[in-house]
Chain A
Amino acid sequence: MATHSNNQYFVPHGSIYPAVLSAGLLSLASGFIFSLGGDKGLDHLHTPGKWMMILGAVIIMTMVFKWMGTVIGESLTGKYQNWEDKSFRIGMIVFICSEIAFFAAFFGALFYMRVLSVPDLAAFDPAFTPYKDFVGTWPSLGPGGHTQGVGGLVVSGNYVPPTNFHAMQPWGLPAINTLLLLTSGATITWAHWGLIKNNRKQLIIGMALTVALGIAFLICQALEYHHAYTEMGLTLGSGAYGATFFMLTGFHGFHVTLGTIMLIVILLRCMKGHFTPEHHFGFEGVAWYWHFVDVVWLGLFIFVYWL
């Protein structure tokens, strides 16, 4: 076990934030359920679901910001030495691993459908298959509901695949988005060099650029979604392709949003001069996160858009 520059580990004050944060999550989750519509939902009871959600969201945000505020305060008052710093680094790495596992689930679903379920549906014994003219090629919208098989084989619901459907083409907006994210990866590294060289100008410009690129990415994705829904017949509901496309890119976009917010916070802290060349985990943690988001996008570009 390494010998520590300081042999006292910092154990913080008790804090109410975690407990209240959990309460906020409870309110958000149950509010969401209460406001669900449809024949399975509860909104026909005019439940206060929406308000519970808003309340929950407000609580969560306040708690997160207060919590992070405390952490920043502690870091500024030099409570964190190398020993604590190492904890944060290991913690951040493990956390990112769990995020990877989360995306793995959706990539898994994508591969499963492409390689297994869609081809299977097209490959039943021709003598008996209910999907006479269904070809198991990707992109696929599935054979559609109400298929009448031998003696009637009814697949759920009244789902009819959209007819005006087009798959998303990689070499338009998606390619631009790839460019944006890759550049942002470069700019944040450049900013990091600046930080290490104690060159504040380079640091702040680099960060500002990164934030800008992040926002640009989000705008492009918004346009892409709009296009998909209005012109391409590509929606959450359009079969295997639509589901995997929107869940993967959607969750990625969500992570980009979080990442951008964190980047902004870090940018402000840089301006306030919170970071020193030797002591700046806050910066690195977010940088790592950003690179992770970056890599996930590459996976998306290759497997969702391109191949």
Chain B
Amino acid sequence: MQTEPGDPPGSGNSGESPSGPLAIEARGLVKRFDGTLAVDGVDLSVPEGSIYGILGPNGAGKTTTLRMLLGIIDPDEGFRRVLGHERPHDVARLIGYLPEERGLYPSMKAYEAIAFMGALRGLQLKLGRERGRELLETHGLGHAAERQIRQLSKGMAQTVQLLGTLVHKPQLVVLDEPFSGLDALNQGKLERMIRGLAEEGTTVIFSTHVIAHAERLCERIAIIAGGRVPFAGRVDTARDRIPPQVRLETRAQQGPWRGALPADARREGSFWHFSLPESGIEPLLRALIEGEAGILSLSIERAGLHDAFIAIAGEAAARALGTEAGEGEQA
């Protein structure tokens, strides 16, 4: 199957398409490794200047998708356009990439490593060295500029690589699992850095298996599970897939008002939990008051991204995601 630009997105991908210019557009990307389908018809539309998250458990196809978008590997089927170009290497100077498996030359000095990564993207070595020192200074690693990579801690080396990803001032930054291996403090720093990039107009796309990062940072996400994208669109739209959740506490346990509760209402302790009915909260409120239920508390909460993820990708994917996130946090 050869998908062309402008084709409608895949059937499972029901998020609305962004209207502005796109930094990345992909339609029907397919990749097989030795006959195994790793990515099966991925559609993505990443608006320019946005922070875009690709969310999914390990093995879902996130890294393969990113590699295809960057031209590291070519898709077997489908179409991709990155910064207006169908061959990502043609705009390599405008892209910064932090792979999941971090890699630096152990014998290189920190500022040299940054300069080298810039040189790969067309930055003059001299300028790269100057910027490398500046970036290290700005991010509190000025003292490590002359140290060899092998002499740095894992977190410091990871920061050096991230700075190398940014040294040539790219228009598009692609980060594969950027938070993995970072402690809470450095995760916070990275979140601030990503927000800062977006404020400067840089498009940031990152993959993660930690929902909280995507929820805090992204305007738009794509959920990947089993090589497919069942959802791609605004985070709010994903949440709206699930009706708001109502939590009700009453003084009375029984009464005619019980008949007004929705069918999915379940009792946990003294609380009732149920989805907000399509007719709204008013008819229920009326029934509760007239039936003298004695309302002690009533809250309507919008669904979280985690619940949306379960609804979209399924319990199994959510469980896998939860396990990995837990493992990641423990690590």
A binds B: no
B interface, CB within 8 angstroms of A? none
A interface, CB within 8 angstroms of B? none
